[in-house]
Each structure stands twice: as structure tokens, then as C-alpha cells.
Amino acid sequence: MLKIAVLGGRDTVMGFKALGLDVFPATNAEEAKKIFASLTHEAENEYAIIYVEENLAVFLEHEISKYKNVPSPAVILIPGREGSLGLASAALKAAVEKAVGTDIL
């Protein structure tokens, strides 16, 4: 059975634990890179969806871009406690534009 992972700051991810999701708190960019690599490792790829906090996604941009055109895992950016940086809405807009062929948002 495939799972859902949440990668982000401790304050952001702990709420998702109550929902039964696997949470992976990271305190810095290097730790986030290591966790993301382990979550997406081919042999252990048990996650269908990986939510990544925008604050850390900035540092994982290259790694995340590898999964834009593959069905699994779906990497979805979420805002952190401090609020949105606009990365999630920009990614959604780009995906919709690619699917529809024009900017409808």
C-alpha cells in the first residue's frame, strides 16, 4: 500500500501526523535533501505523494524538478506556518497551463 509523506519544519508537519501521514521534520536544507532523497529512492519508493513545505522546496528545486513529469511520487508544495511564498500556486498554475495549453488562471 502506498503512503503519503510530509517533509517540512517540525511545526508544519506535526499536524499531519494526527491525520495518519508519515511526517519527516527537517531543520535545515541539508537535512531536507537527505530526507527527500531517501523518500524518492527507487528501491524504497513506497510514497505516492510527498508534500514539501515551500521554505524547504526552495533548496530542493533541482531534486523536485525530476518528478514533474512522472506519475509517482507526486511532489506537492505546501505553505509553512509563516505563510505562502507563492511557490505552490506558481507550480499549480504551470501544471494547469501545461495540461490545458493556455493560462486559464
The percent of residues above 90 in pLDDT, for the chain, comes to 41
- Residues 32-50 pLDDT 10s: 999 999 999 865 668 999 9
Q: 3-100: which CATH number, 3.30.200.20, 3.40.50.10580, 3.40.1410.10, 3.40.1280.10?
A: 3.40.50.10580
Q: CA-CA distance, 89 to 36, in Å (whole number)?
A: 21
Residue 50 has a pLDDT of 93
Full-model pTM? 0.78
Strand partners, 83: 80
